[in-house]
Homo-oligomer: A and B are copies of this chain.
Amino acid sequence: MIIGIDLGGTNLKLALTDRNFRIKARRMISTAGFLKKEDLIEGIVISVNRIIDDNGLRKNQILGVGIGLPGPVDSKSGFVHFFPNIPGWKNVKLKTLLQRKLRLPVCIDNDANLMALAEHAIGAARGMQNALCVTLGTGVGAGLVCAGKLYRGSTYAAGEIGHVPLNEKGPKCNCGGIACLEAYIGNKRIAKAAKAAFRKDISLEELSARAKKGDAKAIRIWQMVGRYLGLALSGAVNLLNLDAIVIGGGVANAGSSLLNEARAVVKKRAMSVQARHVKIVKARLGNDGGMLGAAILARSYSGRG
């Protein structure tokens, strides 16, 4: 059995899977209460031990533990640089630390990379050579599979499609740049557009529900999201000549308006050979992608892949 973990700004989610990545048990705890890094690490240790115990397993029956993390991670050395949305983490040797506490093999990676790993191995990009898996959320990120392998870049920071500039001038972005994709379609921007349209605060779930019911104002907002996304994807498609682009993250559930608009923009703006070839599809593994990718990473690192 394998343990795959997805650590987010809101929740810590664990899955116990078999060697074929079928989920046999789940655990979830809120990370909101864990203000200190040490508490969060302790929370991971307790949760791992409990999911093993609760399922009547012994540690030597666990191949390894994989963890997806919300920030730049040196997956080779197991080093966490920092998390943009969880304070207190800076230069943490998380892999070594957890291995000592858990007495299990541990491997870590960025959450967008693990989502890509999972969609490529068992999801929407299965069997494809070259795929970009985009996660739409508070941040907009991606994991990139090139020639059948996860491509992490020279300093483990590849995949930042959210910070591709869409215009010479435009809104300031959290990253320090200008007119980045994320500055147009990060969740906060979508919420802002929704508030302007409906003259009240409206959750993105509600905005999706309204679009699915045919509300023209809600549909227009998701089309706007799809338009900006499609523009960034057009550049990626021309540069990388991909088989597939997989769209995941919360707002990927917005319905067809977003995806159809993104497809239309890519068809119009990308070069015909590349645009005809690429498939733009919704993620198949939904919220489980991160945990499953973590389990897949753990199995590949175990040498018993």
Interface, chain A (partner B; CB < 8 A): 72, 81, 128-130, 142, 144, 146-147, 149, 151-161, 163-168, 175-178, 231-232, 234-236, 238-243, 268-274, 277-278
Contact = CB atoms under 8 A, between A and B. Distances in A.
Contact of A130 (B154, B168, B243, B273): B154
Contacts of A158: 239-241
A234 B72 contact: no
A155 B274 contact: yes
Contact of A147 (B146, B156, B274): B146
A178 B269 contact: yes
Contacts of A154: 128-130, 241-243, 277-278
Contacts of A277: 154-155, 157
Contacts of A161: 238-239
Contacts of A234: 164-165, 177
A239 B125 CA distance: 19
A238 B166 contact: no
Contacts of A166: 165, 167-168
Given A166-B168, A271-B175, A239 B241 contact: no
Contacts of A271: 157, 160, 163, 175-177
A239 B160 contact: yes
